[in-house]
Amino acid sequence: MSNEVSMSISVKEASDLSNQGNIDRRKPDYLDQLEAEAIYIMREVAGQFERPALLFSGGKDSITLVRLAQKAFAPGKIPFPLVHIDTGHNFVEATDYRDMLAEKTGSKLIVRYVEDTIKAKNLKEPTGKNASRNWLQTFTLLDTIEEFGFDACIGGARRDEEKARAKERIFSFRDEFGQWDPKRQRPELWNLFNGRIHKGENVRVFPISNWTELDVWAYLQREGITLPSIYFAHERECILRDGRLLYNTPVIEKDPEDQIVTRQVRFRTVGDMTCTAAVESSAATLEEVIAEITVSRISERGETRIDDQQTEAAMEDRKKGGYF
């Protein structure tokens, strides 16, 4: 017993000492390395393009992007607008957070609505059980890029999310129709990013390409960033469908087999309500969320994204069509 006590003291002292000795900034932690790389990429966008934009969804990845952009350009403001393509089916917690963050950082916020595109272009909206406006965002996004003449759009996609994304460059060239051609990607060498384009073309830039989901959570925790409340456990009325919990909202068409249940849940990703599922959880803090994800045996998109489940190449096809 006395042995244990003295051991725990010596361990504590040792860690205090190592903390003191750990002020050598030339031994960066992996989060510092990822952060430095992302800031470098942000600055390359500001340096190489005339009209960049940051695609902001209110989700944790784009919240991370905003923090990185703040750090990249401090004490100046972020030198590009935040752009949100709103499906009209977004969680109110996420859109409230979006407005608050834009105000706090003094950034210009541009919101364009899928609803308006549907009306203006007379698009046919998908209907039925798993209908989602997610894919229709592409039309609004491309229109918005054209409206403002954006030559670069910064996005929060990560390569660990999905197999097609694992093959995409950090500076990802899109033709004048917004299309991604996986077979004709520009070689991306060292940290030399080639953002040269012709008028009408644009580049999608992914500064956190090399981050994993856990890295994002760990970074948010380290930076002490407050997230929208839906990322933490709360009571919510849900639709139980095919083993998944969807928010019981009027925008989701009900099916006779759906069960309405009230559960304690949190969201692991925050996208359109129609294609983002919740997970049952009691995690109320970032620390608890990280602990749950660390032991989770299911991937982020596998657990929560309904749009990827349709075919083996769902994301590849969407990206070729101009998706984020």
Partner 1 sequence: MDLLRFITAGSVDDGKSTLIGRLLFDTKNILADQMEAIERASKSRNDGEIDLALLTDGLRSEREQGITIDVAYKYFQTPNRKFISIDAPGHIQYTRNMVTGASNADLAIILVDARHGVAEQTRRHSLIASMLGIPHVVVAINKMDLVGNSEDAFLEIAKTYQDLAQKLNIKDLTIIPVSALNGDNIVDRSKNMPWYTGETLLSVLETVNVLKDKNTTDGRFSVQYVIRPQTEELHDYRGYAGRLQSGSLRKGEAVKILPSGTESKIARIEFGGQEIIEAGVFESVTILLEDDVDISRGDMIVSVDNSPIVSQDIEALVCWMDDRKTLKAGDKYLLQHGTARTKCSVRSIEYQIDINSYEKLDEVESLKLNDVARIILRTAQPIAYDPYQQNRANGAAILIDETSNVTVGACMVE
293 CB-near residues (< 8 Å, 6+ apart) = 213, 214, 217, 268
Kindly list the strands in the beta sheet with 52-55, ordered across the sheet, starting from the edge strand earlier in the chain.
Answer: 109-113, 82-86, 52-55, 152-154, 202-205, 171-174
Q: How far is the CB of 209 from partner 1 (least distance, A)?
A: 8
- Tokens representing 17 are 């000492």
If the CB atoms of residues 32 and 287 are measured against partner 1, the closer one turns out to be: 32
If the CB atoms of residues 71 and 234 are measured against partner 1, the closer one turns out to be: 71
If the CB atoms of residues 85 and 164 are measured against partner 1, the closer one turns out to be: 164
Whether the CB-CB separation of 286 and 227 falls below 8 Å is answered with yes
Q: Which residues bind partner 1 (CB under 8 A)?
A: 25-30, 32-37, 39-40, 43-44, 46-47, 70-77, 159-160, 163-167, 182-183, 185-192, 194, 196-198, 209-210, 212, 296-299, 302-303, 312-313, 316
Q: How far is the CB of 122 from partner 1 (least distance, A)?
A: 31
If the CB atoms of residues 160 and 272 are measured against partner 1, the closer one turns out to be: 160
Q: How far is the CB of 186 from partner 1 (least distance, A)?
A: 5
If the CB atoms of residues 70 and 117 are measured against partner 1, the closer one turns out to be: 70
- Tokens representing 155 are 């996005």
Whether the CB-CB separation of 80 and 46 falls below 8 Å is answered with yes
The half-sphere exposure of 80 on its side-chain side, counting CA atoms within 13 A, is 30
Q: How far is the CB of 119 from partner 1 (least distance, A)?
A: 34
Whether the CB-CB separation of 237 and 223 falls below 8 Å is answered with no
Q: How far is the CB of 88 from partner 1 (least distance, A)?
A: 30
